[in-house]
Amino acid sequence: MVQKRIFNLVAAIDQNHGIGKNNDIPWEIPEDMKYFNTLTKLGLKVPDYPQSNSITKPSMNVCIMGRKTWISIPERVRPLKDRFNIVISSKTDFIDFENPKNKYVKTVPSIQEALNLVDTINNSENGIHINSIFVVGGQRIYEEAINHAHVRIFITHIQNPNSHECTVFFPKFLHIENLKKMDFDHLASLLPFKIDPGVLISKTNYKYEFTLYQNF
Ligand SMILES: NC(=O)c1ccc[n+]([C@@H]2O[C@H](COP(=O)([O-])OP(=O)(O)OC[C@H]3O[C@@H](n4cnc5c(N)ncnc54)[C@H](OP(=O)(O)O)[C@@H]3O)[C@@H](O)[C@H]2O)c1
């Protein structure tokens, strides 16, 4: 059976679709950071690439990101732990591959190469199995990945009306053919952990809402 390759885009966006400024995120919402980490670590209740019953390799999810997003992650939490990190770049010299902490980090020059790498990992008998693919930014990577045939878009909408003066943006996506905003119950049913519905208030006073859009 040919498996559907699904990209799960994950982003927190403000009311202008802003996602970042000065290679950083211009808001602090610890509850959303926790959501991002739990979602990308634990993945989905039913993985997009289920492992066949005959093979049981240790499994994890992949996070695909652009070089600038990689650099924007504080060094103490980089690479993203318990996830396979694939960094898209024309360069390779910005990561110390000799350092054992980077065992599950690879650089590739394109998203297509990232997909090929996931296939290679999953087809090898040793090593690990990739359950699902999360695309975690930034702007260029989202712009390319959003046109993939099968996408889920996990958006945290930040509701505060003040401008964050972002310089990088998430693409406008509502025009995508067949893309639907899913109801909260559908989002909750995909996740192996609990989240709250509706507009929530962070302990840092930001208003935010977890949502899901999907085109299949
Ligand atoms: N709010 C959120 O949820 C969120 C999530 C992630 C990131 N961010 C923010 O987004 C900003 C970083 O995003 P960004 O858009 O500036 O950069 P980015 O997409 O993370 O990285 C851009 C770099 O990635 C490589 N690249 C990207 N697309 C490529 C492609 N299709 N083919 C080949 N190489 C490609 C290139 O690297 P080379 O130049 O090395 O070739 C390019 O310079 C930061 O402010 C970060 O904090 C926000």
**C-alpha–C-alpha distance, residues 187 and 107, integer Å:** 31
The reply to whether 91 falls in a domain is yes
What's the pTM value of the predicted model, to 2 decimals?
0.97
Task: Say how many Å lie between the CA of residue 185 and the centre of ligand 1.
Answer: 32
Alpha carbon of 35 to those of 8, 43, 159: distances in Å? 14, 11, 17
6 within domain boundaries:
no
CATH of the domain at 168: 3.40.430.10
Considering its fold, how many domains does the chain have in total?
A: 1
pLDDT digits (tens, 9 = 90+) for 58-107: 999 999 999 999 999 999 999 999 999 999 999 989 999 999 999 999 99
Q: List, for residues 31-58, the tens digit of each pLDDT value.
A: 999 999 999 999 999 999 998 877 789 9
Q: Which residues form the domain of 204? A: 34-46+58-214
* Residue located nearest, by CA, to atom 9 of ligand 1: 20
pLDDT in tens, 2-16: 456 899 999 999 999
Residue whose Cα lies nearest atom 37 of ligand 1: it is 89
E-assigned strand segments in 72-196: 83-88, 105-108, 129-135, 150-158, 168-169, 180-181
Closest by CA to 23, choosing from 86, 84, 67, 77, is 67
Q: Is 87 in the pocket of ligand 1 (CB under 6 A)?
A: no
Continuous segment of H or E residues that includes residue 10: strand 6-13
The answer to whether residue 27 is domain-embedded is no
